[in-house]
Amino acid sequence: MHASLFITCYNDTLFPETGRAVVSLLERLGVELDFHPQQTCCGQMHANTGFRSEAYSLAKRLVRLYADVEHIVIPSSSCVAMIRDQYPGLFEELGNDSLRREFAAFLPRVYELSEFLIDKLGVEDVGAYFPHRVTYHASCHGLRGIHLGDRPFRLLAKVRGLDLAPLPNLDRCCGFGGTFSVKNAEVSSAMLAVKLQDVLGTQAEYCTALDNSCLMHLGGAMHRQYAGMKTIHMAQILASTESAPMEALL
């Protein structure tokens, strides 16, 4: 099984350990991974702020970069949602027939990480060990954008030693929303405060999710408040084994 890793611009820059975890995990499961050195960004930040032509350029670039790849694995639901939900409209409006054909061939090969594990590899038990109390945060893009459903829970259920604390109001947005977090910083913070009440109330040690975007927002507030909880991308939980435990960086 071959797969190409699209790390995403913000993971590449800010959360390389998530990428390392994905590599460790997939290699352990027998996947031959490659990494296109020219990759940059899916264009979501631009599309969501209204910079459509910039988003289109980046979208076109990404599709062309991965023209000949079997599977593309992306450890970020929001980037996958961008590709599935917004690329069609962008290419309809700004692209041409040739590009739309390329996209049609490209689209079915795109997988979010948990989709790749469960749907493509057919595994739920990835051999992980993470003896901590953990709560799972469902990012909106994962929940409503690409409909991950119970995939994250099925994976977490098989992690040895993990004590899963259910998060109340699971479907309520954490308030990150991309540039919303700075354009409407105060409202974003109000939503964060409310979400944090639920998250901290689980008394978990870690809050995990399939998107570092939400985790950056939640974790940033936890750190500011000395809240006694840390965030960790699920890839790092799944990569963690008894012999090679992987904690979030301090």
Partner 1 sequence: MSHIVEHPVLDPRLAPPFPQAALPVLRNPQLRKNVAHAIDVIQTKRGKLIHEKTDWQDLRSAAAAIRTHVLENLGAYLEQFEARCTAAGGHVHWASDAAEARQIILDLLRQEKATEVIKIKTMTSAEIQLNPFLQAAGLGVFETDLAEIILQLGNQEPSHIVVPALHINRSQVREIFAKSMGRPELSDDPHALTDAARTYLRRKFLDIPSAISGANYLIAETGGVAIVESEGNGRMCLTLPRTLITLAGIEKVLPRFDDLEVMLQVLARSATGERMNPYTSLWNGVTPGDGPQNFHVVLLDNGRSSILAKKRERQTLRCIRCAACMNSCPVYRQTGGHAYGSVYPGPIGAILTPQLMQMHHAQSLPYASSLCGACYEVCPVKINIPEILLELRSQVVDQERHDLGRFFDPLYLGLRAAGVILSRAWLFHAVQRLGRIGGSFVTRKDGWIHAMPSVGGKWTQTRDLRGFPKDTFHAWWQQNRARQSEKGAK
* Torsional class of 138: left (φ above 0), alpha (ψ -120 to 50), beta (otherwise): beta
Q: Which residue, 104 or 187, has its beta carbon nearer to partner 1? A: 187
In the complex, the smallest distance separating the C-beta of residue 161 from partner 1, rounded to whole angstroms, is 26
Q: Which residue, 91 or 162, has its beta carbon nearer to partner 1? A: 91
**CA 88 to each of CA 33, 61, 160, 237: distance values in angstroms, whole numbers, following the listed order:** 27, 14, 40, 33
Q: Which residue, 141 or 162, has its beta carbon nearer to partner 1? A: 141
In the complex, the smallest distance separating the C-beta of residue 144 from partner 1, rounded to whole angstroms, is 4
Angle between helices 97-106 and 52-65 (to 10 degrees): 60
Q: Are 154 and 92 in contact (CB under 8 A)?
A: no
Q: Which residue, 146 or 159, has its beta carbon nearer to partner 1? A: 146
In the complex, the smallest distance separating the C-beta of residue 24 from partner 1, rounded to whole angstroms, is 11
In the complex, the smallest distance separating the C-beta of residue 235 from partner 1, rounded to whole angstroms, is 12
**CA 59 to each of CA 39, 81, 131, 180, 221: distance values in angstroms, whole numbers, following the listed order:** 11, 13, 40, 21, 32
